[in-house]
Amino acid sequence: MFNFNLQKKNFLKLIPLIFFVIILGLYLNTYMRNSQTLSNAYNSNKNNQEYDFDGDGENDELSIISTNSTYSIKIKNSLGETLLKSNEFDYSLLDISPSCAIKISYIDLNRNKIPEIIISGLKNNKSTFYIFKWENNSFQEVFFTQNNILSILDFNNSKTPKIYTTSSSKGDEATEGYILNSTTLKDISFSSPKIPSLNSIQLLIDCVEADYELDDAPDIFTSTIESDQLGLLWNLDKSNYRYSFQKAYCYDTTWNEFGNTSSLCWILSFEKINFTSSDSKPKELLLYVTAEIDESNQFKISSIIKK
């Protein structure tokens, strides 16, 4: 009887630990799943990508279809094949452009273990972003914008994930905010949302677009940024090339103890044109930028990598 009671007492002590391990496991599973989806963000050089897009536990196949001058997206799952359909442009989601390739990422924005698909590129010479979700056994467009900045925040912390969008020319004064509920998109623009580090990114865009070499770097960089990365601003060969900002996509990567964003990853797309050669076609310049809180509690750029 004594041993039984002792074993029961020890087991009861273990119950909180067991619950903690289960909750931690569920959190890490969600974190690793979302981290995996965003680690592959904008890696769309492959025409075919495999991932579980409908939450049935089986990998589906996403294919990028180039037809004439436009891109379409086909997804093959256990129910068959589906072409993603835009409410605005039907099945021709984006235009084929040498200076702005189609980009695809996927992330679970409403935390139902089924990822949303984020697609971006150019349509009618405008930056275009779509978000599709799996609902009622089909893929539905739930978000569309031709603003040229899209931000995904709080995707992997204790807060509700948010979708922010704005124009680079207007900044936070025009930022719109949304939350994706189970079946609807809730507009939270009334709360005057702001995209962290946007001011620094806007100044960086100005630096790249400037048709002259800079005298000095603006105060938007951390003291720890590597000199060769900072030197990229003086290695754009502006005597032969000019750059025009096209679009940006960003997401937060770390948070402080209060769940507030402390660092973000930005992917900036510029059109690169050789104005000294009439035979040269436009190209795309991609900059992968990290912005983080510095010692003065301001968002500064700590890394720039050219692709």
Whether pLDDT at 41 is above 50: no
Give all strands (DSSP E) within 97-181, no chain letters.
Answer: 103-107, 116-123, 126-135, 138-145, 149-153, 162-166, 176-180
Query: d(Cα 181, Cα 187) in Å, to the nearest integer?
Result: 11
The per-residue pLDDT for range 79-94, each reduced to its tens digit, is 999 999 999 999 999 9
Identify the sign of the CA torsion 177, 163, 30, 115. Answer: positive
38 band by pLDDT with thresholds 50, 70 and 90: very low
10 band by pLDDT with thresholds 50, 70 and 90: low
Whether pLDDT at 122 is above 90: yes
Q: Region 129-137: what's the mean pLDDT?
A: 96
Q: Region 236-244: what's the mean pLDDT?
A: 97
How are beta strands 94-95 and 80-83 bridged, if at all? unpaired
Query: d(Cα 275, Cα 240) in Å, to the nearest integer?
Result: 6
Of residues 168 and 41, which shows the higher confidence score? Answer: 168
Which pLDDT does position 99 carry in this prediction? 97
Whether pLDDT at 42 is above 60: no
Find residue 77's DSSP bridge partners. 80
Whether pLDDT at 27 is above 80: no
The per-residue pLDDT for range 43-74, each reduced to its tens digit, is 445 688 999 999 999 999 999 999 889 999 99
Q: Region 161-166: what's the mean pLDDT?
A: 97
Q: How many CB atoms lie within 10 A of CB 23?
A: 10
Q: Residue written as tokens 């899209």?
A: 150
Q: What is the CA radius of gyration of the chain?
A: 22
The per-residue pLDDT for range 260-294, each reduced to its tens digit, is 999 999 999 999 999 999 899 999 999 999 999 99
Of 9-13, 93-97, 107-111, the least confident: 9-13
Whether pLDDT at 3 is above 70: no
Whether pLDDT at 176 is above 90: yes
Quick one: what percent of the chain has pLDDT higher than 70?
85
Average pLDDT score over the chain: 88
Which pLDDT does position 47 carry in this prediction? 80
Query: d(Cα 203, Cα 184) in Å, to the nearest integer?
Result: 35
Q: Tokens in use for 218? A: 């603006």
Q: Tokens in use for 120? A: 């971006």
Distance in Å from the first CA to the final CA of the chain: 70
Q: Tokens in use for 113? A: 């273990």
Whether pLDDT at 37 is above 50: no
Q: Region 6-10: what's the mean pLDDT?
A: 51
